Amino acid sequence: MSPPRPWAIHHFATVTSTMDVAERLARAGTADRTAVVSDEQTAGRGRAGRSWLAPRGSGLLCTLILRPAVAPRRLPLLSLVTAVAVAEAIEQLAGSPAQLKWPNDVWIGADPDRQKVAGILMTSRLGPAGVEVALGGIGINLTTRPADLPPGATSLLESTGIRIAPSALLPVLLEQFDDRYRDFLDRGGGASLEAWRGRAALLDEHVSIVVGDETRTGVFTGVDDEGALLLRDATGTLHRIVAGDLTRGPRPVGHLGGELSGPRMIPRN
């Protein structure tokens, strides 16, 4: 198999959001494996319209433009694949193990009230032939000061004492992602989730998850081969959940930064 083409990287000093720029580039026909990177974003966004702001140079802020030739139902796995790549890049440079909170948060450190170091926002646009584009927004707090972080968040510097520049982390992240993405494509949109499961946060713990207007509680027993969360309730019934807001224990939603949910679809104009 021939190696993939080099990444095309668009670097900016300041943008409203790397996702905004990536969406415009994608609609203009930008190719698969293009990265939009910015030193600062003034209106970055996480799941459900929540903001992700970062002072200049304090984090790695990027969006990957991808055009995977897979069935739309396979896209939720791409979020988990991306989370593994982020965790692997952090572990390689910081030397500290990372945990993955379903579906797309990366945790680090031992402080249960301040662990989220990175988040992933995966969106997609579908067309008559299937997936037109998938955008993987990635935000990693590198040197962000505690005063600039939201509740439940930390930075690599705060958690590990190691200072890593965005320019040092980006090539490592892209290399790790390439390996995972190639495997995802080779499997027709499938993936081995052993690397994800081995880093699963809250595994075998009592959790709460909000699905629409409903809150469910139970024990998080893992994820299935399509990336859905498996929750065993008090009666022993196992529930399969494809999207929701997850928190530790029967706590109010919003604690511990449990704000990210599964992939959404961008309406096609």
The full set of domain ranges for the chain reads 8-198, 206-257
Per-chain mean pLDDT for the chain? 87
Asked whether residue 59 carries a pLDDT value surpassing 70, the answer given is yes
- What would the mean pLDDT of 156-176 be, rounded to a whole number? 96
The whole-angstrom separation of Cα 254 and Cα 203 is 19
The confidence score (pLDDT) of residue 268 equals: 30
CATH code, 206-257: 2.30.30.100
| 113-148 pLDDT, tens digit each | 789 999 999 999 998 888 999 999 999 999 998 888
| 199-213 pLDDT, tens digit each | 999 999 999 998 888
| 224-265 pLDDT, tens digit each | 999 999 999 999 999 999 988 898 876 443 333 333 333 333
The confidence score (pLDDT) of residue 264 equals: 32
**Residue 266: which pLDDT band, with cuts at 50, 70 and 90?**
very low
Percent of the chain at pLDDT > 90 equals 71
The confidence score (pLDDT) of residue 254 equals: 39
The confidence score (pLDDT) of residue 45 equals: 59
Measured CA to CA in angstroms, residue 207 lies from 19, 111, 222, 232, 256 at distances of: 31, 17, 12, 10, 12
**Residue 162: which pLDDT band, with cuts at 50, 70 and 90?**
very high
The confidence score (pLDDT) of residue 257 equals: 35
| 30-56 pLDDT, tens digit each | 999 999 999 998 876 555 445 566 778
The confidence score (pLDDT) of residue 46 equals: 54
In contact, 216 and 241? CB cutoff 8 Å = yes
Q: Mapping DSSP to helix (H, G, I), strand (E, B) and coil, where does residue 83 land?
A: helix
The reply to whether 206-257 shares the fold of 8-198 is no
Q: What share of the chain is helix, strand, coil (3-state, %, to 5)?
A: 25, 35, 40
The full length of the chain comes to 269
Q: Mapping DSSP to helix (H, G, I), strand (E, B) and coil, where does residue 183 land?
A: helix
The yes/no answer on whether domain 8-198 falls in CATH 3.30.450.370 is: no
Residue 150, preceding bond cis, omega within 30 degrees? Answer: no
**Residue 84: which pLDDT band, with cuts at 50, 70 and 90?**
very high
Percent of the chain at pLDDT > 70 equals 87
| Residues near 240 by beta carbon (within 8 Å), at least 6 away in sequence | 224, 228, 229, 230
